[in-house]
Structure 1
Amino acid sequence: MNALAPAPGSQPASRVTVVVLTRNHVRQTVDTVARLIALPEHPRVIVADNGSTDSTIGLLASLFPQVRIVQGLRDLGMAGFNRAVALARTEYVACCDDSTWFAPGALARAAQLLDANPGVAVLNACVADADEREIHPACLMFAATSPGGDGLPGPALANFMAGACIFRVSVFRALGGYEERLSRGGAEELAALDVLSAGHSIVYCENALAHREPLYRWFTRTQQCTLARNSAWVAWMRLPARDALAATGRALAVFARQRSLGPAGFALLRGAFWTLRRRRVVPPHVVLLTRQVRRAQRHVRVGIPAMAEKYDRSGQRAW
């Protein structure tokens, strides 16, 4: 018998590791992990804890000894995924937060699609509420603004939801993970540009269903300013000057609407030197894709629910 083959009657090893990002949400985390380990794919589950001070770590260790816990000493935001993904021993990793879980069969379908499409590095799941009656505004926007997907297993994307995606582990590691300075928003935007620049594709996959409760959440004034600031920083790091100036203008408009033009504007300026040191303009085909999506967003925004203006674009809980 092949030593690598599963024993008769045993479950085959999962092709996907699921990483759950959490901080101080013990009830949601326990519920999410229980749902994940009950999946028919039997995925390996790693919990990336961002410095929880409640009973999250102890209770998870007691209830789910088979789950690996990567405990951080502080809140790293999205960068908390990095250490956990580094420990994955599968070809693919599915990332979610403590209020998001994948539907039965979704991970298997995602692995099959990635197997059949080696040029695709990231699949963005279709995120719906538990009853599947409402779709996350980000997914509606992705579907409505994609320029198409010739030769791809779904609509091509210029961005993805960091908390509802399936990644090729090799690509994630080659990127170096998420940038810690953008951990409060924008890290997935930078990662997406780097994925596309490396010649890979990002695809929206309706067949990879994920559930989320609550489906979306409103941002505070500070969080909206942070997202706008970080998006401008990403533009200066990767996009042509024309696009970077436009992103800066959008950020200033958000600061003004949130009555934080002075403090937020100063924070934006303070990061300018760091972003310019990291500047590496993406290839023309990536610029074209981002511009196509941006133009489409202006046309379809009126058809998307009003909360789409304030949804958590990363799919990640804003702590």
Structure 2
Amino acid sequence: MRTDRITVVIITRDRRDQLLRTLAQMTALPDAAPIIVVDNGSSDGTADAVATHFAKVELIRSSDNLGALGRNLAVERVRTPYVAFCDDDTQWQPGALTRAADLLDAYPGLGSVTGRCLVAPDLHEDPITPELRDSPIAGPDWLPGPALLGVMAALSAFRVRAFEEVGGFSRRLWFAGEEELLALDLAARGWWMCWIEDMVIHHEPSRARDATHRRRLGIRNTLWTLWLRRPARSAARRTAVVLRSAPTDRTTLAAVFAALRGLPWVLRERKVLPARIEAGLLLLEDSQRDSPARRYVG
């Protein structure tokens, strides 16, 4: 049952025990796929533990924390037509990898499929689920699920050709909300993305995370994405929405200053989305405004 149409890519940093649990589950799947792990400069022996316990897993040791760019590095080594991203605290469930590969086989215009996330320990649906299931984006009749204009990396599989066509994850954004720009660029290139109810991934949120740092990066990256791709009026309006929804504290202030410092390169690299994509983003604003998954916390 092993599938050789898709490769799993996992980025990790200083979460040895959780990664080892994830690898044990992923390598035991009935439809297990080749796995590439990128260790982003861990100091807890993660890379050595992977090499010792999972000899068949391809390991990339980075001396630096590459963030999401570690995925780009891994995709350069992928030899299958599709890649599934997995975090060290997510686990694709039996049949999910095969389901992703089957869909990408069947629909050549499909650039990415995103699965249904269940959160451990009680396996409730992730709060982002209603946004995906009830997406108002109009897609072609052939699309096998609700059309999306955004993805969650650890819940998604991509056509490698589409991923490479848009340059993968932005080196500027590095990490936290890095998927948004990637998804918009895929859509602008004519690739479709959709949500698949029966492609299930479990998420066991790690306690080893710096929520405050992640919030700062998330706000910065959201602002950069707005300024890079949205028309001026929409970018200004959405910037105000983001800042109103964020806590008034030093972390938010630091995020805004970091975003402003990036304005020179943002203006140089700005490329406004086609009108059809902007129209879709406008349709998403109500559900995003009310979504508990988009509250800035930490």
Same fold per superposition (TM over 0.5): yes
Aligned-partner SS, 2:117: strand
User: Relative to structure 2, which stretch is displaced further, 145-154 or 254-263?
Assistant: 254-263
Aligned-partner SS, 1:163: helix
Aligned-partner SS, 1:157: coil
Q: Which residue is equivalent to 2:243?
A: 252
Contact 1:185 1:230 in 2 (8 A): yes
Contact 1:126 1:208 in 2 (8 A): yes
Q: Which residue is equivalent to 2:295?
A: 309
Gap change, CA 1:254 and 1:74, over 3 Å in 2: farther
Shift of 1:150: 4.2
Shift of 1:261: 5.7
Aligned-partner SS, 1:180: coil
The structure with the larger Rg is 1
Shift of 1:225: 3.3
Contact 2:85 2:157 in 1 (8 A): yes
User: Relative to structure 2, which stretch is displaced further, 247-256 or 149-158?
Assistant: 247-256
Equivalent position to 1:279, from 270, 281, 288? 270
Percent of residue pairs identical: 36
Equivalent position to 1:26, from 9, 16, 24? 16
Shift of 1:131: 6.1
- Write the mapping of 1:1-16 to structure 2, written as runs, cut at 5 A: 13-16=3-6
Q: Give unpaired runs (5+ residues) of structure 1.
A: 1-10, 312-317
Q: Please give the alpha-carbon distance, in whole angstroms, between the structure 1 residues aligned to 2:173 and 2:226.
A: 12
Letter in 1 for 2:149: A
Q: Which residue is equivalent to 1:187?
A: 178
Equivalent position to 1:234, from 203, 210, 225? 225
Aligned residues: 297
Deviations along 1:271-310, one digit per CA (max 9) or x if unpaired, are 1111111111111111111111113333xx2xx5x46524
Contact 1:128 1:215 in 2 (8 A): no
Q: RMSD over aligned Cα, in angstroms? A: 2.4
Q: Which residue is equivalent to 2:155?
A: 164
Shift of 1:263: 3.4
Shift of 1:77: 1.3
Q: Give unpaired runs (5+ residues) of structure 2.
A: none
Contact 1:229 1:251 in 2 (8 A): no
Shift of 1:243: 1.6
Gap change, CA 1:221 and 1:269, over 3 Å in 2: same
Q: Please give the alpha-carbon distance, in whole angstroms, between the structure 2 residues aligned to 1:211 and 1:149.
A: 27
Gap change, CA 1:216 and 1:113, over 3 Å in 2: farther
Shift of 1:253: 2.7
Contact 1:219 1:310 in 2 (8 A): no
